[in-house]
Structure 1
Amino acid sequence: MPVSKSLITEHTYEADLRLLQIELVKLQRHIIQKGKRLLVIFEGRDTAGKDGSIKSITEHLSPRDSRVVALNKPSLREEGEWYFQRYVAELPTAGEFVLFNRSWYNRAGVEKVMGFCTDEQYKQFMNTVNDFESLLIGSDIELIKYYLDISKEEQADRLKDRAKDPLKQWKISPIDQKAQKMWNAYSEARNKMLKQTSSTDAPWTVINANDKKLAHLNLIADLLSRVDYPDKDKKILKIDPKIVMACPTNSKALPKLFK
């Protein structure tokens, strides 16, 4: 079975994306002029489209004032540091827009599922991450968190497509190859993470990313709707509530997720 086709045509997608990217340029100009600091975290299932979503955001932004952070596994030295330490070094400075392609939430996801951290390390992370993020926000860093979710069937199709595409070989890893076998464990870890770390200061937003093009458009529209900048064209910020779903704070309830 091929990877699912989009419900939107390529022509419409490109036209809508261009308008949203113009708004992103306006936003970046405001961030630079006012010395703002914006951090956007991207988490999600393997193959959920984090790379593509980030590329659609950064395509026309100034590379001097925006950064994509995708850290490798920690070195031996970093393993001996405070868990958040290497991420702190990557936080945005004044006038900078930073996007984390995976983040400190590795500990709540892949590290937990694959046994790369101890139960005590996991518990300590879950008990402290909300306070850590509140400190960042109290230091005038604007923090937005997205979790990209896809169905098991869609992930299977994307993994097959990735294995056959010579331009995507760099994406293949032993962890990705276990994504389907560990599906239920990842679902359980995801649910615990969203329930416990969608705080009042830093709530999660879940993106139904089964349709990549619609996911890109809706995610960018949601991002733009949540930040202030001059001359915002609000009429183009159309958000489908079936694609963009707020994760309630301080609640056991979750938006409709793929099981």
Structure 2
Amino acid sequence: MNASTRRAAIRDLLRTRPVGVDELAVRFDVTASTIRRDLAMLTEAGEIVRTYGGALAPGGDEQPLHERETMAGVEKAAIAREAEKHIEPGQLLFFDAGTTVGALAARLTGWRGISVASTGLTTINALADAEGVELIALGGVVRHISQGTVGPLTELALTRLTADAVYLSGDGVTAERGVCEASAEQAAVKRRLIEQAAAVFVLADASKLGRAGSHWWTPLPARWTLITDASATEQQLAPFHALPGVTVVVAEG
């Protein structure tokens, strides 16, 4: 495969999902340096956007939740298994909207003696018949594309409630800025969830690490836990390891 064909293939792949340098190097059987040169040329041409350790397609519409549910399923399942280990009976938990958090919720259907308050319809649907789980639906305006509630009603409800922990996801997470989302309303709800929770867990597969493709940010507190999957590279994890208050947990596949 010549360079021109390879770059076209890289561009087409990035239209489906963010991809890291190491994965591209293996996929196209070239060195990481060659991939970095390809990405630099595609970036200069305005065809892609570079991220920490990889790249993604520029702009584009936010992906509907039902499309995201089919992506990185194995990785999300591993993250959900690891996240479940941090939950204890008697806790009240906040669950954000999102497919990875939804995968965690699906693991809790047999639990008893916990409470889950959620802005995500995925979580609410997963736990609707779980008789041992007290389920609290945090109402508000439903964003159809993300299947999550946002707005003043959601934020008002969160002023009346505190949690032992919050489990968050997002379009991307960076060590410098926190979690990014597609809208100001989503970022605002995340901020309120964090403010009202004693502990913060961010569930993000490797494709989300260092990704800054969305423009609305929720800063994370000094102490929080990142749970990611085993495909995350040392280069991706290094900025998080460098933060003294951040615990990084890599879920085994």
Q: Flag whether TM exceeds 0.5 (same fold).
A: no
Q: RCO greater where, 1 or 2, for CA within 8 Å and sep 6 or more?
A: 1
State the TM-score, normalized to the length of structure 1.
0.32
- Relative to its length, the structure with more helix (as a share) is 1
